[in-house]
């Protein structure tokens, strides 16, 4: 049951007094560089996972180390695809990193690809994280009420146990329902979504953030629950009536990148929601837009401006 005593904080946008301060370049000798490790597949064509995380996080002035879990010709929304599981590479890479004394400020996982990968990633998190490391898990496996091809119940169970290792998880509604064994309904009420969030946190993550939640007409964003503060929170942005592949990967990459720039949770989620919306808008304007992904490359300057305004 939803505990109605918990506060719900709806964050409102803070408009910065000065736009685009001259000469204030990202990371220009101000703070030490942060290093994120992102673990997801590499789809050679399709604009998702690593082909989003790497350029987006780098553009945000944060080092992005990668651990590819699988190599695909293109993502699985295409009619056909090749899939080569790279799980046999994970342990030797981890050993090498340990010997080299390599550490990470954040570990960010997305589409992993196989149960074996998930088990290895759990070990990696145990070996490479401490109290200072942000463990950010996007349990990518489903959307619009359906699992992506290649996945089954065993994968869902493995992903559920991975979520226990997280500081924060960011499922969409379909993934949240699968993780909590709740029947999926597109038209769930806000109270039902709050109940889902409580169940998600009981899996073990400190904070759960449900993506694609509209709290008012014409807006969309996230609804989250912070189990330490015992507080629900929400961030909203303009709703653009179109859905594209890869937007979840953009949202997660921007959130982690913004957090590593020292921004607060609310600022980071707001920038992620605003940038995702701006990118969908820009894509819609392109008469030659690809069906398989968004034109995030064209909106990277906007992302940098948002970051500079917030910092
Ligand atoms: O954007 C999610 C994603 C990532 N990686 C691969 C996918 C998908 C969604 O279909 O197929 C390979």
Alpha-carbon distances of 236 from 45, 133, 269, rounded to whole Å: 31, 27, 9
Tokens 């993502």 appear where? 75
Nearest to 34 by CA among 206, 268, 256: 256
Q: Which two tokens stand for residue 195?
A: 């109940």
Q: Which two tokens stand for residue 116?
A: 């074996």
* Beta bridge partner(s), residue 40: 68
Arithmetic mean of pLDDT over the chain:
93
pLDDT of residue 30: 61
pLDDT of residue 22: 37
Out of 22-31, 61-70, 105-114, 198-207, least confident range = 22-31
Ligand 1 midpoint to CA 41 (Å): 8
Residues 249-262, mean pLDDT to the nearest whole number: 97
Nearest CA to ligand 1 atom 7: 75
Residues ≥6 apart with Cβ < 8 Å to 175? 139, 140, 141, 142, 143, 159
pTM: 0.92
SS3 for 251? helix
Summarised one tens digit per residue, pLDDT across range 100-143 is 999 999 999 999 999 999 999 999 999 999 999 999 999 999 99
Pocket of ligand 1, candidates 39, 45, 49: which has the most ligand atoms within 8 Å of its Cβ, to mutate? 49
For residue 21, is pLDDT > 80? no
Summarised one tens digit per residue, pLDDT across range 149-196 is 989 999 999 999 999 999 999 999 999 999 999 999 999 999 999 999
Residues ≥6 apart with Cβ < 8 Å to 221? 213, 214, 215, 234, 235, 236, 237, 269, 273
Question: What percent of the chain shows pLDDT beyond 90?
Answer: 89
Any atom of ligand 1 within 6 Å of the Cβ of 75: yes
Q: Are 270 and 306 in contact (CB under 8 A)?
A: no
- Tell which phi-psi region holds residue 218, choosing left (phi > 0), alpha (psi between -120 and 50) or beta: left
Helix H or strand E segment including 40: strand 35-45
Any atom of ligand 1 within 6 Å of the Cβ of 307: no
Residues ≥6 apart with Cβ < 8 Å to 86? 68, 69, 70, 71
Q: Cα–Cα distance between 307 and 258 in angstroms, integer? A: 7
Any atom of ligand 1 within 6 Å of the Cβ of 49: yes
Summarised one tens digit per residue, pLDDT across range 196-244 is 999 999 999 999 999 999 999 999 999 999 999 999 999 999 999 999 9
List strand residue ranges (DSSP E) for 214-298, in order: 219-226, 231-238
Burial group, residue 83, by CB count within 10 angstroms (0-12, 13-18, 19+):
middle
Nearest CA to ligand 1 atom 12: 75
Out of 8-12, 31-35, 87-91, 187-191, least confident range = 8-12
| CATH 3.40.1190.20 residue spans of the chain | 32-310
Q: Are 261 and 244 in contact (CB under 8 A)?
A: no
- CATH fold of 32-310 reads 3.40.1190
């Amino acid at each position: 049951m939803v505990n109605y005593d918990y506060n719900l904080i709806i964050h409102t946008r803070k408009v910065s007094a000065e736009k685009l301060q001259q000469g204030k370049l990202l990371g220009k000798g101000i703070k030490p560089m942060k290093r994120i490790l992102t673990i997801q597949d590499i789809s050679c064509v399709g604009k998702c996972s690593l082909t989003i995380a790497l350029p987006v996080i780098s553009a945000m002035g944060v080092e992005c180390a990668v651990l590819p879990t699988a190599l695909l010709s293109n993502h699985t929304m295409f009619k056909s695809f090749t899939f080569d599981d790279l799980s046999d590479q994970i342990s030797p890479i981890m050993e090498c990193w340990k010997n080299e004394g390599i550490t990470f400020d954040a570990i960010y996982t997305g589409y992993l690809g196989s149960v074996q990968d998930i088990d290895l990633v759990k070990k990696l998190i145990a070996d490479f994280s401490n109290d200072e490391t942000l463990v950010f898990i996007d349990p990518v496996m489903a959307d619009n009420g359906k699992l992506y091809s290649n996945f089954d119940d065993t994968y869902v169970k493995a992903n559920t146990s991975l979520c226990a290792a997280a500081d924060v998880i960011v499922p969409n509604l379909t993934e949240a329902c699968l993780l909590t064994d709740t029947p999926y309904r597109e038209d769930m009420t806000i109270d039902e979504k709050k109940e889902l969030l409580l169940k998600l946190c009981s899996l073990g993550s400190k904070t759960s953030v449900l993506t694609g939640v509209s709290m008012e007409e014409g807006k969309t964003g996230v609804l989250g629950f912070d189990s330490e503060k015992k507080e629900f929170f929400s961030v909203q942005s303009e709703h653009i009536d179109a859905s594209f592949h890869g937007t979840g990967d953009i949202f997660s990459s921007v959130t982690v990148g913004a957090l590593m720039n020292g921004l607060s949770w609310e600022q980071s989620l707001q920038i992620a929601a605003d940038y995702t919306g701006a990118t969908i808008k820009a894509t819609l304007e392109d008469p030659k837009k690809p069906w398989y992904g968004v034109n995030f490359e064209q909106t990277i300057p906007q992302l940098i401006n948002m970051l500079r305004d917030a910092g």
